Amino acid sequence: MASLTADSAVVRDPVYYEDDGNVILVAESTLFKVHKSRLRKMSAVFADLLALPQGDAAVDGQTDECPIVLAGDTSEQVRSLFWALYSRPDEVVAYLGDTDNNGRWLRLLHVVELAHKYDCMALAQWALNTVAAHCRTADSLGSTEAIIALINLHRHRDQLPGLIEWAEPFLHRTTAANNVSYFTLLRAAELSQWDDLARHAYYRFVCGGASSWTSFRLTASEKLRLLTGSYNVTEVLAALPSLDMMATHLPCSSAPYCTSDWPLIWRECCSRSLSQGGKDVLAVLQQLYSLLEAVGAGKLVISGVRPRFPSGPSAVPVHNCYARSLGAAKEVADLGSKVVQRCFDEELDCLSANSPEVKALWTP
Higher pLDDT, 290 or 209: 290
Longest dimension (CA), the chain: 98
- Give the per-residue pLDDT at 246: 57
Domains contained in the chain, number: 3
**Residue 278 placed within a domain:** yes
**Residue 204 placed within a domain:** no
pLDDT in tens, 130-185: 999 999 998 888 889 999 999 999 999 999 989 999 999 999 998 888 778 888 99
pLDDT at residue 359 is higher than 70: yes
- 66 and 98 share a domain? no
pLDDT at residue 36 is higher than 50: yes
Across 178-215, b (16+ Cβ under 10 Å) vs e yields eebbbbbbbbbbeebebeebbbbbbbbbbbeeeeebee
**Poorest-confidence range of 30-34, 97-101, 155-159, 166-170?**
97-101
**Residue 205 placed within a domain:** no
Q: Quick one: which of 358, 359, 332, 337 has its CA closest to 248?
A: 332
pLDDT at residue 313 is higher than 60: no
**Residue 118 placed within a domain:** yes
pLDDT in tens, 177-200: 877 888 899 999 999 999 999 999
- 180 and 106 share a domain? yes
- Give the per-residue pLDDT at 296: 77
- Give the per-residue pLDDT at 58: 53
Which band of pLDDT confidence, cut at 50, 70 and 90, is reported for residue 1? Answer: very low
**Poorest-confidence range of 33-37, 50-54, 165-169, 296-300?**
50-54
- 56 and 95 share a domain? no
The vertex-167 CA angle with 163 and 173, nearest 5°, equals 175
pLDDT at residue 310 is higher than 50: no
**Mean pLDDT of the chain, nearest integer:** 86
Which band of pLDDT confidence, cut at 50, 70 and 90, is reported for residue 252? Answer: low
- Give the per-residue pLDDT at 329: 86
- Give the per-residue pLDDT at 314: 44
**Poorest-confidence range of 41-55, 77-91, 273-287?**
41-55
pLDDT at residue 322 is higher than 80: no
Most confident listed range (69-73, 137-141, 291-295): 69-73
Q: Is 74 left (phi over 0), alpha (psi -120 to 50) or beta?
A: beta
Which band of pLDDT confidence, cut at 50, 70 and 90, is reported for residue 247? Answer: very low
**Residue 206 placed within a domain:** no
**Residue 265 placed within a domain:** yes
| Helix/strand/coil for 11 | strand
pLDDT at residue 259 is higher than 80: no
What percentage of the chain exceeds 90 in pLDDT?
Answer: 57
- 152 and 49 share a domain? no
- 105 and 59 share a domain? no
Range of the domain at 257: 231-361
